[in-house]
Structure 1
Amino acid sequence: MSATRSPKVTDRVAPKAAEPPPKKKKHDDDDGPDFATLFRAWLESHRASMVDSLRRLGKQPIGSFFTCLVMAVALSLPMGLSLLLKNVERLGGSWQRAAQISLYLEMDAGGRDGEALVTQIKGLPGVADAEFVSRDQALKEFQQQSGLGEALKELPDNPLPGVVVVTPQEVDKPTLEALRQRLSELPKVQQAQLDLVWVERLAAILKLGDRFVFGLTVLLVSALLLVIGNTIRLHIENRRTEIEVIKLVGGTDAYVRRPFLYMGALYGVGAGIFSWGILAFGLNWLNDAVVGLSGLYGSDFALAGVPAADGLSLLLGAVLLGYIGAWIAVARHLRELAPR
């Protein structure tokens, strides 16, 4: 009897395939919140800061109103003077009109010669416009302006020559002088006259006005930063204990700074709106007297209002100044409120 070999345990059991290592469970805390969550949290933080700033300003309506009013007055002065300078420049005529070149024609030049000369001059470079004034028209204008109408009627002949008035494109002294010299060489032109003294005087007056407005703007902007900085400083002092507690529990400087920056920007919004209204009302009130005065001189001149672009620039500048003033004030006092 043959002995049978009993199978070993290893023979009866099939080899087991190697299992892959267990995957490590992914926890949400490993990667942190996604971008959408962080963005919503950021928006909510800014919304809460702005609402808190509005609420605190609403608790002190009188103080907030007068702070905005002081800022509005400081903004209105330089902007108002700048608008008045623009109106004065418009009243005195454009630069091109102030620098007109008068070409006095020869006595034997007729109307056809004058019109032909105007056509030739308009084709020259650097010339914006040209107009011919005949001898008869010049005499009528002189009679009306001088008040010597009856005396001039006694003259046997018209003593005034024809004139071509040339308006240049650019107002530059060397360019104007070169253009005058070229025009004086044209046929039928006896004399070319350019009143450069008036151009230089007008330029000096407007340059002086621009510098005065710039200097006043710098001074008032500095005062405005001091006003908004002092106002924000008072708000910081009123919340000193609250800020120290926030910093003790881990609040960042950006979190502490944010409500005060919104407060400064809101002060700027109010000041910009008030300043725009002050300028519009002031120019409208002053315009009545200007229209009456210009009517006495037979003119229809009137002050222009506040352009929309200038008003929006004023509003944006006020918001920016309020933001910068608040930032300076918070940056200065935030170091003093570090927890001890």
Structure 2
Amino acid sequence: MSATRSPKVSDRVAPNAADPQPEKKKKIREEDDGPDFGTLFHAWLESHRSSLLDSLRRLGKQPIGSFFTCLVMAIALSLPMGLSLLLGNVERLGGSWQRAAQISLYLQLDTSSRDGEALRDQVKALPGVAEAEYVSREQALDEFQKQSGLGEALRELPENPLPGVVVVTPKEVDKAGLDALRQQLAELPKVEQAQLDLVWVERLAAILKLGDRFVFGLTVLLVLALLLVIGNTIRLHIENRRTEIEVIKLVGGTDSYVRRPFLYMGALYGMGAGVFSWGVLAYGLNWLNGAVVGLAGLYGSDFSLAGVPMADGLSLLLGAVLLGYIGAWIAVARHLSELAPR
């Protein structure tokens, strides 16, 4: 009688059952790999959303202080932007400046009225010319008699000594371009002399250059003032939350996590200042336009001030947000090292 052998445990386990918990180990491996990109992105969005809502809530708790901070920033933004818009409106008075820089073409004495009109049409077709007007010899003599008060003496002259003139109005007031245009017109047939008063052009260029430099310097100063205002405001918010920030850093909060609410607060201050500044400029130009229209009407002109263009308004708003963001970043970066847990 042969002895019976009891089966071993290894014999009772199927070959495919070597790993009793494959699903559990697979789940553990997935957890070791970390969360996926979607989870990280959702957490990032949630962090920014909570920081934004927290900044709005804190600003809403101090409506008077927030309003006056935005108003001070808006006034500082409105000054350089308003001057820039006024300079742009002054440049729109192109007709007045162009008349000051007109080129006078004195024709030869034997030039007939038909030749003068033909020359006028030829000059008007040139690319750099906005307008050309022909003044005949008879018209020139008549105007000279009325303006000089020498009518009786001029009537005693045996013949008209004044030549015909073609008055050319250029499209652009530029010294180099006007000089080149004058030389081009001087080479035309029947032209005895081409005269251009460059003193007016130089005065115009000097006035506009002075205005541009003044606006640039004022902009730099007020931008620095805005950075100081927003930096000081954010510094006060940091001091009010010093204990909270130290606790956050003590439990492992990163600098970016601490910085984020203050950056949103600075951007919100900038946005409010940009909106107020846009409104102040629109109202101010509209209020000033009434007086400008009345003054222009006395000179027979229909000139009026243009409002704030949409592109300039959006640029102002974006610049204000960036200034608020940069000012908050500088303030937080300066005080972040002092907020280490003790």
Cα distance in 2, alignment partners of residues 251 and 189 from structure 1: 83
Q: CA separation of 1:147/1:240 partners in 2, compared to 1, >3 Å: closer, same or farther?
A: farther
Cα distance in 1, alignment partners of residues 152 and 198 from structure 2: 30
User: Which of 264, 274, 277 lines up with 1:272 in the alignment?
Assistant: 274
Cα distance in 2, alignment partners of residues 116 and 129 from structure 1: 17
Q: Which residue of 1 aligns with 2:8?
A: none
Cα distance in 2, alignment partners of residues 90 and 256 from structure 1: 50
Cα distance in 2, alignment partners of residues 312 and 140 from structure 1: 55
User: Which of 38, 41, 44 lines up with 1:39 in the alignment?
Assistant: 41
Any idea what the Cα deviations from partners look like across 1:98-152, whole Å, max 9, x if unmatched?
A: 533221223432332123223433555x5334423232665677788x496x958
Q: Which residue of 2 aligns with 1:3?
A: none
Any idea what the Cα deviations from partners look like across 1:289-338, whole Å, max 9, x if unmatched?
A: 11111112222111111111111100000000000000000111111001
User: Structure 1 residue 36: deviation in Å?
Assistant: 1.1
Residue identity matched to 1:127: G
User: Which of 97, 103, 106 lines up with 1:104 in the alignment?
Assistant: 106
Q: Which residue of 2 aligns with 1:164?
A: 166
Please give the TM-score of this superposition, normalised by the length of structure 2.
0.85
Q: CA separation of 1:19/1:140 partners in 2, compared to 1, >3 Å: closer, same or farther?
A: farther
Q: Which residue of 1 aligns with 2:296?
A: 294
Any idea what the Cα deviations from partners look like across 1:1-50, whole Å, max 9, x if unmatched?
A: xxxxx9x99xxxx9x99669646534232111111111111111111111
> Does the 8 Å CA contact 1:184/1:192 hold for their aligned counterparts?
yes
Cα distance in 2, alignment partners of residues 45 and 158 from structure 1: 89
> Does the 8 Å CA contact 1:114/1:132 hold for their aligned counterparts?
no
> Does the 8 Å CA contact 2:105/2:191 hold for their aligned counterparts?
yes
Cα distance in 1, alignment partners of residues 337 and 152 from structure 2: 85
Please give the TM-score of this superposition, normalised by the length of structure 1.
0.86
Question: Any gaps of 5 or more consecutive residues in structure 2?
Answer: 6-10
Q: Which residue of 2 aligns with 1:233?
A: 235
Partner SS for 2:167 = strand
> Does the 8 Å CA contact 2:145/2:154 hold for their aligned counterparts?
no
Residue identity matched to 1:25: K
Partner SS for 2:95 = coil
Residue identity matched to 1:185: E
Q: CA separation of 1:25/1:88 partners in 2, compared to 1, >3 Å: closer, same or farther?
A: closer
Cα distance in 1, alignment partners of residues 97 and 71 from structure 2: 37
Partner SS for 1:192 = strand
Q: CA separation of 1:279/1:164 partners in 2, compared to 1, >3 Å: closer, same or farther?
A: same
> Does the 8 Å CA contact 2:106/2:191 hold for their aligned counterparts?
yes
Q: Which residue of 2 aligns with 1:66?
A: 68
Q: CA separation of 1:142/1:286 partners in 2, compared to 1, >3 Å: closer, same or farther?
A: farther
Any idea what the Cα deviations from partners look like across 1:46-81, whole Å, max 9, x if unmatched?
A: 111111101100000000000000000000000011
> Does the 8 Å CA contact 1:180/1:193 hold for their aligned counterparts?
yes
Which moved further from structure 2: 102-111 or 18-27?
18-27
Cα distance in 1, alignment partners of residues 162 and 18 from structure 2: 113
User: Which of 207, 213, 221 lines up with 1:211 in the alignment?
Assistant: 213
Cα distance in 2, alignment partners of residues 178 and 66 from structure 1: 55
Q: Which residue of 2 aligns with 1:332?
A: 334
Aligned residues: 329
Q: Which residue of 2 aligns with 1:131?
A: 132
> Does the 8 Å CA contact 2:80/2:219 hold for their aligned counterparts?
yes
Q: Which residue of 2 aligns with 1:90?
A: 92
Partner SS for 1:180 = helix
Cα distance in 2, alignment partners of residues 73 and 86 from structure 1: 20
Question: Any gaps of 5 or more consecutive residues in structure 1?
Answer: 1-5
> Does the 8 Å CA contact 2:267/2:321 hold for their aligned counterparts?
yes
Residue identity matched to 1:65: F
State percent identity of aligned pairs: 78
Cα distance in 1, alignment partners of residues 332 and 82 from structure 2: 31
Partner SS for 1:25 = helix
> Does the 8 Å CA contact 1:127/1:167 hold for their aligned counterparts?
no
- Superposed CA RMSD in Å reads 3.1
Cα distance in 2, alignment partners of residues 38 and 26 from structure 1: 19
User: Which of 120, 123, 126 lines up with 1:121 in the alignment?
Assistant: 123
